[in-house]
Structures are given as structure tokens and as C-alpha cells.
Amino acid sequence: MKTGAKWQLFIPPELGYGEHGAGGAIGPNETLIFDIDLLAVNPAKK
């Protein structure tokens, strides 16, 4: 990813919270969707 990139990640239920869910906002067997905007990249410290 480069600075300014926009990604959308889809996490299927079997890799997320599965049949248990996570309470109110995330029900059982829901796909999680994350919108990611890369604002900056900080170089690693040596």
C-alpha cells in the first residue's frame, strides 16, 4: 500500500466472530467490513 491508498477488507464470519457474534452491533455469522485509508507511513527505527 502507498500513502493515500484506500482499501476495503472483508473478513468472513469464520475468520471473525463466527456464530457467537460480539454483542449488540456485531451479530452471529456477520461479515466484517473495514474501510482503510493509509494516511502516512513511518519508517522503521533501526
Per-residue pLDDT band at 3 (split at 50, 70, 90): very high
pLDDT in tens, 9-33: 999 999 999 999 998 899 999 999 9
CATH code, domain with 18 = 3.10.50.40
Q: How many domains does the chain have?
A: 1
pLDDT, position 19: 93
What residue numbers bound the domain in which 1 lies? 1-46
Residue 46 has pLDDT above 90, yes or no: no
DSSP the chain: --TT-EEEEEE-GGGTTGGG--STTS-TTPPEEEEEE----PPPP-
Residue 1 has pLDDT above 90, yes or no: no
Give CA–CA dist 18/23, Å, rounded.
Answer: 12
